[in-house]
Structure 1
Amino acid sequence: MCASYGLDPRFTDAELLAEADAEILAGLRDWAQQNDGETLRPTGKNLRNLNPLIVSGDGEAALEAAWWGYLVDGQPAKFPSINTRSERLQQRPGGLRTRAIVPTTGWFEMRKPERVWHEFTLGKGVLFGMAAVAQRGRTPDGEWVTCYSIVMRPAPEHLAELHDRMPVLIPTAFAHDWLNAEADREIIDEALLAAASLDERVTATARETDAAAKGDADQLF
């Protein structure tokens, strides 16, 4: 389960969109600087943060602030919704109607039973994208926002000893298709194949348990 990730404003290499949009990158850097290095975590009753999300607006990539996790009847969903299994989307492709990309410089997972946090990246300072599915939801304040859930897949062998699952990463060349292609079984199958091309680049670094990495998802809702 991915329950936290980072967005370092010092990112130097952007592997997010095939044609890097200067406005989107500037918006991400500005948001990350204002976030002051805080870890991005699910939105819920204890945290009302909105996180940057890349969506498709008339076929063009756009940046907007979004709620991590689903909203149901004006309240955070009572079922787990911050992550969605790729296998479920393969079985029920209707959940792929609206898709998005989550920009990040690394996500965090705890290795058990040692309870040691690790940060997973594509390299120091590299900005990349994680696949997400999205839907509209009404906040407790009555506002309508985009809600998102990060798509997860089984981890490759060299990472599985640290954590058995990982986000579906979206290579730059596949970003447009992920955002705009028809919602069917084929698009999630293609996403998994594209994500596998990045497997060997993913590395994990142990880090001290601190405010940037710790946090139990059960405490966020």
Structure 2
Amino acid sequence: MCAQYGLGGGPYVEPPDTPIPPLDERESAERVAEWAAQRDGTARITGKNARNLNPLIREVDGRRRLDLAWWWLWKGDAPARFSAFNSRDDALLRSWRTPFQHRALVPASWYLEKGARFDLGGSMFGIAAITAVSHDANGEEILSYSLVTRRAVGSALDAHSGDGEPRMPLILPSEMHDDWLDPERAGDRELIDRAVLASDGISQDLRRS
């Protein structure tokens, strides 16, 4: 499971290479830079009191949009009572069918697993996510998300100690981003299979540091 990732070195110094649209636009880049400066470039699971929200990319009305979102899927008017910060690829249709129809990308340049850090040498990458829009008890709209995970490959296999199947975030190459974000594209078995297959190469390229 992945419970921490980030952008930049933590603390944040400069934006990572190869930004994902719309992070190549000034306004979005400045929002992410502000977030990174406040959070030491590190995304953490959102707390009920701290309300630390994290950058998320969605497609809305035909354009990619940057939002800040709650990391832990909500169910109804509150965060899910069961673990909902990661969602297995093989459970998307069984347990997460509705959020799977509302997909997003989480920008990152590294993630942690079992204390080990994985990155692409400073390049930004997009982690597949599913989302839900809810309202809290005060009627405030809450955008929440969960990172999609897949079977670990490459160097990520070494970060596990035998306690269950090795997992890693589902990292998508740029050529898969449009399909994943397309709100008109149904979330189905074909999309899952294509996303996992497309992720093999970039996942193998991750280095442990």
Aligned to 1:178: 180
Aligned to 1:101: 105
Which of 69, 72, 92 aligns to 2:72? It is: 69
TM-score normalised over the length of structure 1:
0.80
Q: Secondary structure at the match of 2:18?
A: strand
Which protein has greater RCO, CA pairs closer than 8 Å, 6+ apart? Answer: 1
* Residues 1-221 of structure 1: pairs in structure 2 closer than 5 A: 1-8=1-8, 9=12, 10-14=14-18, 16-17=20-21, 21-23=24-26, 24-35=28-39, 37=40, 39-89=42-92, 91=94, 94-95=97-98, 96-110=100-114, 117-123=115-121, 125-163=122-160, 164-180=166-182, 181-205=185-209
Percentage identity across paired residues of the two chains: 37
Q: Does the CA-based 8 Å contact 1:71-1:139 persist in structure 2?
A: no
Distance 1:5 1:128, change over 3 A: same
Tell me the amino acid that sits aligned with residue 57 of structure 1. V
Q: Does the CA-based 8 Å contact 1:44-1:76 persist in structure 2?
A: no
The alignment covers a number of residue pairs equal to: 196
RMSD: 2.1
Distance 1:189 1:90, change over 3 A: farther
Q: Which runs of 4+ in 1 moved over 6 A?
A: none
Tell me the amino acid that sits aligned with residue 71 of structure 1. W
Shift of 1:84: 0.3
